């Protein structure tokens, strides 16, 4: 989970770039975000 949060920070929540860095599809990343309850701060 920390790896996902760090990548989101590094890429300013650009889902495509984060997914690419982590070796996931965009859909796979969205599923992990939902599973871990990670949301972008308002």
Report if pTM > 0.85.
yes
Distances (CA, A) of 27 to 12, 22: 18, 12
Mean pLDDT of 28-39: 98
> Could you tell me which residues come within 8 angstroms of residue 4 by beta carbon, excluding any fewer than 6 positions away?
18, 22, 29, 32, 33, 36, 38
Instruction: Give the pLDDT band of residue 41 (cuts 50, 70, 90).
Output: confident
Distances (CA, A) of 28 to 14, 17, 33, 37: 14, 13, 9, 14
Kindly state the percentage of the chain with pLDDT values over 90. Answer: 95
């Amino acid at each position: 989970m920390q790896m996902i949060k760090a990548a989101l920070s590094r890429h300013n929540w650009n889902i495509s770039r984060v997914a690419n860095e982590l070796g996931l599809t965009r859909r796979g990343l969205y599923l992990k975000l939902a599973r871990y309850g990670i949301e972008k701060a308002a």
